[in-house]
Amino acid sequence: MHTKSCSPKSQSSTDNRDRRGERRRKVDLLVNRFLNGYPYLCRATNISRTGIRVVPLGEPAATTRFMGLQFQLPGSSEIVTASGEAVFASGSRGPVGIRFTRVPRASAEQIGRFVAGRHD
C-alpha cells in the first residue's frame, strides 16, 4: 500500500476534484469498513464515483489492502455496498483513500446521483 501525507494544497482544493479529474463531494457519514471479515467504524470525508476517503475510528492499525464497505448516503434509506482497495494512507491510523473495485449497479447509480447532486 502506498503511504504518504497529504500536502495542505491538496486538502484545500477549491475545484473539489482529485488529481485524476473525478468530481468529489464532501460528506460526513459513518462507514462500516470490513477488514479480514470484521467490521470497523470509519468516518467518510469525501466520495466520488470511483472511491471514498475515510478516517478510521478506533480500529487496529490496518495493513489490509482490500476491504468491503457499507454505508448510507444522506437522504437515502438504501444501503450502499462496495469493495475497495486502499490506494493511499496517511500513517497507520490516518485517513485512507479507497478506490472502488466492485460496486453493484444499484449502488453505483446511487453514488453517481449523489456526487452529481441529484436525488431522483
Q: What are the tens digits of pLDDT across the range 1-58? A: 444 433 333 443 334 444 556 789 999 999 999 998 999 999 999 999 999 999 999 8
Q: What percent of the chain has pLDDT over 70?
A: 80
pTM for this predicted structure: 0.79
**Cell (9 digits) for 14:** 477549491
Does the structure show a pLDDT above 50 at 117? Answer: yes
Q: What is the mean pLDDT of residues 87-112?
A: 92
The DSSP code for 68 is E
**Cell (9 digits) for 70:** 457499507
**Residue keyed to cell 482490500:** 66
Encoded amino acid at 17, one letter: R
Average pLDDT, the chain: 83
Query: In degrees, to the nearest 5, what angle opens at C-alpha 78 toward C-alphas 76 and 79?
Result: 120
Q: Which structural domains are found in the chain, ordered by start?
A: 19-116 (2.40.10.220)
